[in-house]
Amino acid sequence: MRFTLQHTDTATAARAGEVVTDHGTIQTPIFMPVGTVGSVKGVFHRDLKDQVNAQIILGNTYHLYLRPGMDILEKAGGLHAFSGWDQPILTDSGGFQVFSLAANRKLTEEGCHFRSHIDGSRHLFAPERVVDIQRTIGADLMMAFDECPPGTAEYDYASQSLELTHRWLERCFNRFEQTSGKYGHTQSLIPIVQGCVYPELRIRSAQFVQQFDADGYAIGGLAVGEPASVMYQMLEVVNGMLPQEKSRYLMGVGTPVNLLEAIARGVDMFDCVMPTRNGRNGMLFTSEGIINIRNRKWQEDFSPIDPNGTAFVDNVYTKAYLRHLTIAGEMLAAQIASMHNLAFYLWLVGEARRRILDGSFAGWKEEMVVKLARRL
């Protein structure tokens, strides 16, 4: 992976750049749709490309490891070939599952012992194993294995967790350097800055990860229970430490407002399940605010979902029609809502990029965060 910083906003820390991988070029800021098990739920690959304008998608190491399994993926030639997606893929390391599946796991120096949520079978994610798994998946961007402590963690726990993550990171890079990709394309291993909500821990982590001179850096352990204001503070601390010439990926974030606030603080890449998960439940993000499409007020509203043209396929679907499909339980409702939200997220980061390049980002961002937080 090669990152080129093309422009930095003069009024904020917002950046426009370009990430080049063997599977394609990514214009940043960028949002990555989440394809947990090798698919973005309910959305065809052709629509991700042609309607949503996705440039990269995310796969989940934990879920792909359990199903379909590494034997199948290796025989298929990796996730790109298996799924038919020929553009860049990023895989997380399973570290968030270490956080979210706390009842079914045990942490040791060796790694994370856990039980499968599918059949209860026992497994171990050690740093070396996680690198091997991601080599087999074939992701362009591989995440180092980490522990993600909750945003409410006490300082002592967060500090111990960070030291464990740093020891695991050294083992990840040792394994990465001892191995090579399996399918003829280059892979990059990305360290994750942790440290919970404690500035001194974040600084320590941001300093530590730079010794590996990675192709880019990720910021993890945010949007996990801490207030948004604290998340923004941590972003300012971390991005003040990370090198300007490398990409910055904020993991698992977030709302449209979160994206704009993070872009203003120097973040380049994002992923989150929110646009598809919330879309399936009838929540739509638009340039004027948030819509609960189940509300009766939309029953006779024959206007486009987003009148400002951010939706896919030129706004052919109206609020009234989508409400009807949603109330009727029609599966097409979830597809339309998911694609609309994804298209909106990609429009939002694309518009942010355009504004950064033409110098109008700061004022536009202040206007947009007010609109995006409104419930219509």
* Catalytic residue chosen out of the listed positions 9, 92, 140, 306: 92
* Catalytic residue chosen out of the listed positions 9, 47, 268, 271: 271
Could you give the CA distance from residue 174 to residue 168 in angstroms, rounded to a whole number?
Answer: 10
Which parts of the chain are beta strand (E)?
2-8, 15-21, 24-28, 30-32, 57-60, 89-92, 105-107, 112-115, 122-125, 141-143, 188-190, 192-193, 216-219, 247-250, 269-271, 283-286, 289-292
Could you give the CA distance from residue 189 to residue 93 in angstroms, rounded to a whole number?
Answer: 10
* Helix (H/G/I), strand (E/B), else coil: 61: helix
Paired residues of 74 in beta bridges: none
State yes or no: is 92 an active-site residue. Answer: yes
Question: Residue 266 is encoded by which pair of tokens?
Answer: 């120097």
Q: Which residues contact 256 (CB under 8 A, 6 or more apart)?
A: 285, 344, 345, 348, 368, 372
Amino acid at 63: H
Question: Residue 4 is encoded by which pair of tokens?
Answer: 């080129």
State yes or no: is 271 an active-site residue. Answer: yes
Compute the C-alpha angle 185/270/115, nearest 5°: 75
Positions annotated as catalytic residues are: 92, 271
